[in-house]
Amino acid sequence: MIIKSLSFKQAKQKIKKLIEEIKYHEKKYYVDNDPQISDYEFDKLVKELKEFENQFPELITPESPTQRVGEQPISGFESTEHRTPMLSLDNCYSREELKEFEERIKKIVPSEKIDYVAELKIDGLGLSAIYRDEKYIQSVTRGDGFRGDDVTLNVKTIRSLPLTITDYHKIEVRGEVYLPFLSFQKINQERAKNDESLFANPRNAAAGSLRLLDPKEVASRHLDIFLYSIFIEGKELPSQWENLQVLKELGFKINPCSRHCSSLEEVISFWEEWREKREDLDYDVDGIVVKVNSTEQQKSLGSTAKFPRWAISFKFPARQATTKIQNIEVQVGRTGALTPVAILEPVKLSGITISRSTLHNEDEIKRKDIRIGDYVLIERSGDVIPKVVSVMKERRTGKEVRFVFPAKCPVCGSLTFKPEGEAISRCTNSSCLEKLKESLRHFASRRAMNIEGLGEALVDQLIEKKLVKIISDIYFLKNEDLLNLERMGSKSSQNLKDEIEKSKPRDLTRLIYALGIRYVGERTAQALASHFKNLKTLSRASLEELIQIEDVGPKVGESVVFFFKQPENIELMNKLKEAGLNFFYKKEKKEGDLPLSGQVFVLTGKFSRMTREKATEIIKDLGGSVTSSVSSRTSYVVVGESPGSKLERAKKLEVLILEEIEFLRLIKKD
């Protein structure tokens, strides 16, 4: 058919027919897992639709399958409030704990029959998607449960999520975005080719992919989604099982492994079944979600500040595998710390091939009697790096070799030093290349100087080609220096130069943290910056002056004094000043003008409305200070869930105690 010969009306009919056909095959392929045509035939349909839309652009609609990937990258993600909170789930790890969960339910609804829905707990990223007038309009990540990031355009690239629905004016669906193992492996293979750091697991890769600024790149990651709840015209359905059935009828993808259980014993059977079968799945699950089926009973049970009382996550045991230690290597960190790493015979665990495991330090190797050639049991739980749980000594043949910790740095050959009372040996050479690499990565990291584009591969090149011999050298790089590096064109070179320039006026707190002074984290950096006001004064501070500051003890104070006495660090300060970095602490208002001026806070327990880091930031912005221990000087102790011993200490000293909601009123956030 020659497109140009068609009238506008004929083209409109043809486009409508093509869209309906493509939507049908998308559902069969991505949702039902029952493809009816080959990939080649499907691609031909999409190509034909594109040709019609190119000829008749006025007929292109946002719901067209060709519009899943927008043309323009996103400038950033706006924070959006959820209509109703997306609460996280409490966890349990044993049958006994699950039975306690049911006992708590029966105390609230004692005479009612309870049935459950058991679903696989997808290790992904929680998400809400909204439809208006039968069209997809918005997606928001779970975030802190109350607000999340608007990722509408990126979620639009997920082909199993329909762009249109029928029959309803207003719908909200919630689910979990995940990355299939095959897609995860392809992404990491590509990153390895480009000398980029690898994602630790599919969940991290899914979260990272969803926050990319270019929807085209998101589309290439092949994310997927399972939906588990729906609000129709703002109302809930009578049961969770009905939620799943209606979602399926409307064309949404639900997890086919969910089960309606009439008793807790059936739930436990479901858990036992999938504990054994989870390795057969092409996505990562770390347990099951158990939900009271009845919506009315859910409402009666209600929620705590953070968790619904009617649902719980019943976790699977940590994943373990047996493998062999082929060698032990030693890595050098930015503080010179030497960390032994086991090189393993590759073994598959959680859908990932594991070939390395940290051994922490020399004492850990001795305590567990770990030798090269040993068969070991490794474990990976959650997002953490795999660890060696135990050595299978009964499998030893006598050929195993004891590991001797090096007396010299494996990178530069300098002598190592192990401070008295510490478990970690350190390289003593301030010019060690590996220390410099780690220091520069830390300096450029998001929570330090936030220099976008200065990643691991580029740092390696800059140092190996001797373009950077001291951190401050990055501020004196020239375009011609960068153009000689791999994968660096004129545009990317200028972008990096711009990012480096943008870091110069960053506040003093970030700069102190970026310097990588041992024991000085973000919180201590803030305390040092607000007390000394400028870097020059801090660099001349005595130990006696330093330990007068809240959160600075003798160990931290000694480390700060030692850092600023080193000739190479004095040179670094001078070079950074020459480059034009901000050395002064900036405060928009005088502390006396601020509402919490002079007030001392201690935060303890888990908060539901904001992170403790965010609460600390707000308190300091309002003129208050935050300390880690309760004393007679403490003005308020703010308590979340599971507050621990600090609450008892506060009661003993008769310090004013604030619940989270009272704290929010105090800072006028509620």
Kindly list the catalytic residues.
121
Write out the two tokens for 164: 């249109």
Beta strands in 250-396 (DSSP E): 259-261, 285-292, 311-315, 319-332, 338-349, 352-358, 371-372, 375-380, 387-391
H-assigned helices in 445-552 = 456-464, 479-483, 490-502, 508-514, 522-532, 535-539, 543-546
Q: Which residue has the tokens 């975005």?
A: 177
555: exposed, middle or buried (Cβ count in 10 Å: 0-12, 13-18, 19+) = exposed
Give residues with Cβ within 8 angstroms of 281, minimum separation 6.
120
Q: Is the dihedral angle over the CA atoms 100, 102, 105, 110 positive or is it negative?
A: negative
Give residues with Cβ within 8 angstroms of 10, minimum separation 6.
none
Write out the two tokens for 377: 């049991």
Give the DSSP per-residue string, 592-639: GGSTTTT-EEEEESB-SSS-HHHHHHHHHHTT-EEESS--TT--EEEE
The candidate with the shortest Cα–Cα distance to 211, out of 160, 168, 177, is: 177
The SS3 of residue 177 is strand
Strands 235-236 and 91-92: unpaired
448/510 Cα distance (integer angstroms): 5
The candidate with the shortest Cα–Cα distance to 273, out of 262, 258, 263, is: 258
The residue type found at 75 is S
352/281 Cα distance (integer angstroms): 13
Q: How many CB atoms lie within 10 A of CB 196?
A: 15
The candidate with the shortest Cα–Cα distance to 351, out of 176, 179, 194, is: 179
What distance lies between CA 479 and its chain's CA centroid?
Answer: 34
Laid out side by side, the sheet with 170-178 consists of 135-141, 125-132, 170-178, 224-232, 235-236
The SS3 of residue 291 is strand
128/516 Cα distance (integer angstroms): 39
276/204 Cα distance (integer angstroms): 24
Helix (H) or strand (E) holding 92: strand 91-92
Write out the two tokens for 519: 């024991």
Q: At what angle do helices 612-621 and 522-532 cross, to 10 degrees?
A: 10
Give residues with Cβ within 8 angstroms of 477, minimum separation 6.
462, 467, 468, 497, 500
End-to-end CA distance of the chain: 63
Q: Which residue has the tokens 């199993």?
A: 160
